Amino acid sequence: MPAFSRFLYLATGFALLAGLAFAPQAAAESVLDRVERTGVLNAGTRDQIRPFAFRGEDGRFVGFSVDIIHHIHAALEAELGRDIALEIGQVDAQSRIDRVADGTLDITCDIASKTWVREQRIDYSLTIFYNGTRILTERQIGLAGLGGLEGRQVGVIANSATIDVLRRSLPSVELVQFPSMNTAMAALEAGEVSGISNISIVLRDLQRQAAQPGRYIILPRAGYLNGEPMACILPQDDSRWRDFVDRTLVRLLKGIEEYRGPYFETYQKWFGPNGDLHYPLNRDAINHFNQIRGWIDE
């Protein structure tokens, strides 16, 4: 082959390779398209965060966050005009991120806090519940306020956002990681740790179920160590699916400022006077929800 022809051949080859390297990748299939094609929505939740998500007497998942999944599922069936099978699998604080990121699950809803580290791998929905991080401790320790916990051990769920909150708020505390809040509570009752930390409403339920509820106190007495807007976890860069979930949530929140509507009814089912845990919806939460309901729904 003449030198010029050989040069032209090589140059053409390099140009083709470069074009392939820099060509935009084909868009990944949206969850909406995959669900329409397969007829299945794959969701996930946790099993020991009552009343958000736990297993009922029949072994099925129930709870406030599980009902949010069912609301989204119903809206999806209405949108697609067909029956959609809903499969709900069990996850933990870490696997929920991994299984959404790798495409195994389309959504998880439990009590996920929003962090920038997680945001690098997944996306979040709008808020489904607003609460804040606090600490459940022995009453004798808590009478001294948060200062009574300095240098003591506090239990947290492994790989949870609570770890970063406590490291920032109470750097002198030694953190002990547990697989679940039930095991953390057992350690507190056994005197193996001086406190356990999570969002306030979870701690309230654990205190209620303790053998001696009056033995414990929740700190700080007013306010939170950190406000926590809880959200569902969604696949990254799937704006059509995220928009659908967010629009469904906005519609659920309609009427919340007047203590009515689908979201309020679901909230009352689990947190009202006759619910699983009485925890009245406060104005801080309502104000937060009103702020995220900024779209005009046509």
Q: What is the dihedral of CA 115, 118, 124, 127, to 10 degrees?
A: -30
Coil, helix or strand at residue 259: coil
First CA to last CA distance, the chain: 67
Quote the pTM value.
0.81
pLDDT at position 296? 58
Tokens of 268: 């009352």
Sequence-ordered list of residues with C-beta below 8 angstroms from that of 288, at least 6 positions apart, any chain: 127, 130, 229
Three-state SS string over 81-118 comes to CCCCEEEEEECCCCHHHHHHHCCCCCEEEEEEECCHHH
Query: Within the chain, where are the H helices?
Result: 3-22, 31-38, 64-80, 95-101, 116-119, 139-142, 162-169, 181-189, 200-209, 239-252, 262-271, 283-292
Cα–Cα dist 152/167, whole Å: 13
Tell me the three state secondary structure of residue 226. Answer: strand
pLDDT of residue 161: 87
Instruction: Pick out the chain residues at pLDDT < 50.
Output: 3-26
Dist CA 225 CA 200 (whole Å): 10
- Give the whole-angstrom CA distance, residue 225 versus residue 227: 7
Domains and CATH numbers, the chain: 31-130+229-292 (3.40.190.10), 132-226 (3.40.190.10)
Bridge-based pairing of strands 226-235 and 122-138 is: antiparallel
